[in-house]
Structure 1
Amino acid sequence: MTQDPTQDPHELPAPADRRHASQHARSVSELADRQAVTLETILAALRSPRLGDREARETATGIAAAALVEARSSARQGADLLEPVTGAFGRLKAELRPLVRHGRVEVEFVEPPPNGRALPGDVAQAARAIVRSAVLIVVDSSEARRVRIHWDCDGLHLLIHLRDDGAGELRAHDDALRPIAEHLSALGGRMEVESTRGWGTEISIAVPLDPAPAALPLEDLAELSPREAEVLQHLARGSRNAEIAGELGISDHTVKFHISKLLRKTGTRNRAELIALLR
């Protein structure tokens, strides 16, 4: 690709370019997850001791054909459409059913309440991608034999709970969970991982159903309290919470409280985004 001669090679990409690149990366990641599930399912069918050679080939062909139909159907669906939470969960079960049928990992599905809020299309797609990634993590684990998938809705968030019976060694910052963390970062969600050695891992996820509020222009400081403005100035200088607390004579907890309010008012998701916006 030919570089624009008028563009400074050291100039950072514009925010719109970064958002476009991030969305593209997430789309590629979701496609890779979907393909990985399909290939894992085909391999499980071909290796299944319960199927003869001919039946295994026919089953694998059927799985590939169904995945192709699903891919074409997904391409026609807009991310702005709403999906009933039970319908979105049903699509997830349909996507994983062949892997469950022919794989060695038993999957238990716990249905969401039928009266839960409809999910925005991007939330429904991300939720299925998150669960697919988690199931692949379990499949890749030689110890896990069972995983429980539970969706719920509190009116503001889609709540996803996954529990396996593996070795219990997974941690929130492990590379295996990076695709899930990237999906959640894009949607402003959060994840907690609790592992007990020898007993398995439980992953709890909350995905907001409403978009984040519009960012507050930083020049409009009238909506910030004097203390928030002070904390903001210290953040701009790169000060840590303890340093801010010492300078302002307040507790670390109070600093965290003011930072959380700044995140909400500026529409940023974390401290790094807030500092990047300031600079």
Structure 2
Amino acid sequence: MTTTVPANRTAVVEHDRAVAEQADRHAVTLESILAVLRSDRLDDRAARAVSIEIAAASLVALRMESDERQGALVEPVVGAFARLRSDLRPLVRFGDLDVQFVEPPATGRALPGEVAYAARAIVRSAVLAFVDGGEAKRVRIQWDCDGLNLLIGIRDDGRGELTASDDSLRPIAERVTALAGELEVSSTPGWGTDLVVRLPLDPPAEPEPLADAVAFSPRERDVLRLVVSGARNHDIATALGISDNTVKFHVSNLLRKAGARSRAELVALAR
């Protein structure tokens, strides 16, 4: 079997994101099937029928994935939350975990596809961690939108021993960090854990180029361009028709204005 490699970085990122989301959804599907098979509310025949239904629904969703993604550049916040509830419905229905959903406001700003995907993945990871832990009986999931950020609140009634550095929260922390978001973990022994996540809806601003951020003179800009290219002082002097000492003077000014301690640091800042 041959695999086609995406031709550019954007396609690679989108491909990896699609694979990761499918893996997350399959994990929830498998956990849901296990919950059905373990449930004491269903006899063997009913458990098999429900398990087949869940598996079939997952296959249908997988086949529709490519069509859905064509319009996934943005998702209404209510629609993104509804999709999360749909993903978790079998697990909520047949598992031992009572999951309470607090709907986001219908007027909330639409979510970029990457944020909507990450938000669902964060909640799914948290729910699966609580299921694996076996201590929590109730989880409350809340989304809100302040116009600039998607705010996610997840609270359980477990042992209250989780910390931000806990291994079970590492996938969540990595997703939050990748989107320049914030994660707060607050635990109270015997009362449970609160996860508060803030995901910016807009990507962080690109840093201003050094040549635009600092008030260099036209000649200093010429010298900076050649320094960045790897040229030595003598080569810069020849290219600009100035003396070696003048080049040293300009380089010294560049270092001072840029706050760089070395030529290498100046190059790194400029790039």
TM over 0.5: yes
Q: Separation in 2 of the partners of 1:56 and 1:189?
A: 41
Query: Given that residues 209 and 270 in structure 2 are in contact (C-alpha distance below 8 angstroms), is that contact kept between their aligned partners in structure 1?
Result: no
Query: Given that residues 214 and 258 in structure 2 are in contact (C-alpha distance below 8 angstroms), is that contact kept between their aligned partners in structure 1?
Result: no
1:71 positional shift: 2.3
Residue 163 of structure 2 corresponds to which residue in structure 1? 171
SS at the partner of 1:155? coil
Q: Separation in 2 of the partners of 1:65 and 1:232?
A: 61
Q: Separation in 2 of the partners of 1:136 and 1:23?
A: 24
Residue 94 of structure 1 corresponds to which residue in structure 2? 86
Residue 194 of structure 1 corresponds to which residue in structure 2? 186
SS at the partner of 1:205? strand
- Is the aligned partner of 1:114 residue 2:141? no
SS at the partner of 2:41? coil
Q: Separation in 1 of the partners of 2:186 and 2:109?
A: 27
Note the residue ranges of structure 2 that are not aligned, 5 or more in a row.
Answer: 1-7, 217-255
1:37 positional shift: 0.6
Distance 1:232 1:178, change over 3 A: farther
Q: Separation in 2 of the partners of 1:127 and 1:223?
A: 41
Q: Separation in 2 of the partners of 1:79 and 1:186?
A: 23
Residue 227 of structure 2 corresponds to which residue in structure 1? none
1:218 positional shift: 3.3
- Is the aligned partner of 1:64 residue 2:67? no
Residue 34 of structure 1 corresponds to which residue in structure 2? 25
Q: Write out per-residue CA displacement over residues 218-271 of structure 1, whole angstroms, 9 at most, x where no aligned residue.
A: 3433279xxxx889647x999xxxxxxxxxxxxxxxxxxxxxxxxxxxxxxxxx
The 5 Å alignment of 1:144-223 reads 144-222=136-214
TM-score, normalising length from structure 2?
0.73
Query: Given that residues 112 and 151 in structure 1 are in contact (C-alpha distance below 8 angstroms), is that contact kept between their aligned partners in structure 2?
Result: yes
Query: Given that residues 26 and 182 in structure 1 are in contact (C-alpha distance below 8 angstroms), is that contact kept between their aligned partners in structure 2?
Result: no
Identity %: 57
Q: Write out per-residue CA displacement over residues 110-164 of structure 1, whole angstroms, 9 at most, x where no aligned residue.
A: 0111111111111111111111011101111121111000000001001000000
Residue 82 of structure 1 corresponds to which residue in structure 2? 74
Residue 8 of structure 1 corresponds to which residue in structure 2? none
Q: Separation in 1 of the partners of 2:65 and 2:215?
A: 42
Q: Separation in 1 of the partners of 2:77 and 2:102?
A: 13
Distance 1:22 1:199, change over 3 A: farther
Amino acid across the alignment from 1:162: I
Match of 1:46 among 22, 25, 37: 37
Q: Separation in 2 of the partners of 1:143 and 1:124?
A: 28
Distance 1:217 1:62, change over 3 A: same
Residue 268 of structure 1 corresponds to which residue in structure 2? none
TM-score, normalising length from structure 1?
0.71
SS at the partner of 1:151? strand
1:193 positional shift: 0.6
- Is the aligned partner of 1:123 residue 2:115? yes
Q: Separation in 1 of the partners of 2:269 and 2:137?
A: 45
Q: Whose Rg is larger? A: 2
- Superposed CA RMSD: 2.9
Amino acid across the alignment from 1:181: A
Distance 1:39 1:153, change over 3 A: same
Q: Separation in 2 of the partners of 1:36 and 1:278?
A: 45
Note the residue ranges of structure 1 that are not aligned, 5 or more in a row.
Answer: 1-15, 239-275
Distance 1:79 1:132, change over 3 A: farther
Distance 1:83 1:169, change over 3 A: same
Q: Write out per-residue CA displacement over residues 182-233 of structure 1, whole angstroms, 9 at most, x where no aligned residue.
A: 2222222111111111111000001111122233223433279xxxx88964
Query: Given that residues 79 and 121 in structure 1 are in contact (C-alpha distance below 8 angstroms), is that contact kept between their aligned partners in structure 2?
Result: no
Distance 1:79 1:160, change over 3 A: farther
Q: Separation in 1 of the partners of 2:126 and 2:202?
A: 24
Amino acid across the alignment from 1:85: V
Amino acid across the alignment from 1:119: L
Q: Separation in 1 of the partners of 2:204 and 2:192?
A: 33
SS at the partner of 2:210? coil
How many residues are treated as equivalent by the alignment?
222
